[in-house]
Amino acid sequence: MKIRRTLPGLTAACLFALALGMSLPAAEKTRLLVISGGHDFQTNQFHQVFQDNADVVFGAFTHPKAHAQLRPEAAKNYDVMVLYDMWQPISDEAKADFLAFLKSGKGLVILHHAVANYQKWPEYEKILGGRYYLAKTMVNGVEKPPSIWKHDVDFTVRIADPNHPVTRGLKDFQIHDETYGLFDMAPDSHALLTTDEATSAKNIGWTRTYEGARVVYVQLGHDAQAYRNPNFQKLIAQAIRWAARKD
Ligand SMILES: [Zn+2]
């Protein structure tokens, strides 16, 4: 969790990658809007997770141009938004577009450092169903210390609800990943993943609904060591399917 200085002139990525997998006709694939920016990551290896998913096609966009994809004329091309950004500025127009996307019943999958987005937009916390504290924060009269992170931890992810479509078929698994501590899941989110790892908060994956939208948060996914974990890939594929109401 290191904030990256955004390079001026950094342009929106790029590809509207047509997945090569042939398991579904193109018209039935889930169309993903994948948003990044504000935090470094292994771009090609991350996108490989979606290229290897035969059920999706995706467009990948980077801030500060990504919000343009939420305008109604662009948003109609997507079924699910995947957030892998760590970004603070958001205009009133982009807020309204973001909320309209969700109110139309489309899905939202929030990954890893995107938990720390939009710290000054209180509605994001309600959408996410949790909160990461980039700085010391007063919450209902209680002082919350800044959340913490630790790289390169080997730990066990426990499946808190094996009957949910997002976690179905998954068993407790080991992963090598970054942990986040001292961040919160909201009491009205539904826990899917937990861990006993000391450097991590207990709840590290959950679901909820926001307006008409199905929302999933997964804390995992710092780098390729996580992206390559088959359990991570299955989890993300099932999160997308559930968010798209295709479970
Ligand atoms: Zn990370």
pLDDT tens, the chain, 247 aa long:
766 544 443 334 444 444 444 568 888 999 999 999 999 999 999 999 999 999 999 999 999 999 999 999 999 999 999 999 999 999 999 999 999 999 999 999 999 999 999 999 999 999 999 999 999 999 999 999 999 999 999 999 999 999 999 999 999 999 999 999 999 999 999 999 999 999 999 999 999 999 999 999 999 999 999 999 999 999 999 999 999 999 8
Domain boundaries, the chain: 16-131+202-243
Please give the distance, rounded to the nearest whole angstrom, from the Cα atom of residue 219 to the centre of ligand 1: 9
Please give the distance, rounded to the nearest whole angstrom, from the Cα atom of residue 178 to the centre of ligand 1: 6
Task: DSSP for the chain, please give it.
Answer: --PPPPPTTPPPP--EE-----SS-GGGSEEEEEEEESS---HHHHHHHHHT-TTEEEEEEETTSGGGGGSHHHHTT-SEEEEEE------HHHHHHHHHHHHTT-EEEEEGGGGGS-TT-HHHHHHHTEE--SS-EEETTEEEPPPEEEEEEEEEEEES-TTSTTTTT---EEEEEEEEES-EE-TTSEEEEE---TTS-SEEEEEEEETTEEEEEE---SSHHHHT-HHHHHHHHHHHHHHTT--
CATH topology classification for 16-131+202-243: Rossmann fold (3.40.50)
Please give the distance, rounded to the nearest whole angstrom, from the Cα atom of residue 41 to the centre of ligand 1: 8
Note the pTM of the prediction, 2 decimals: 0.92
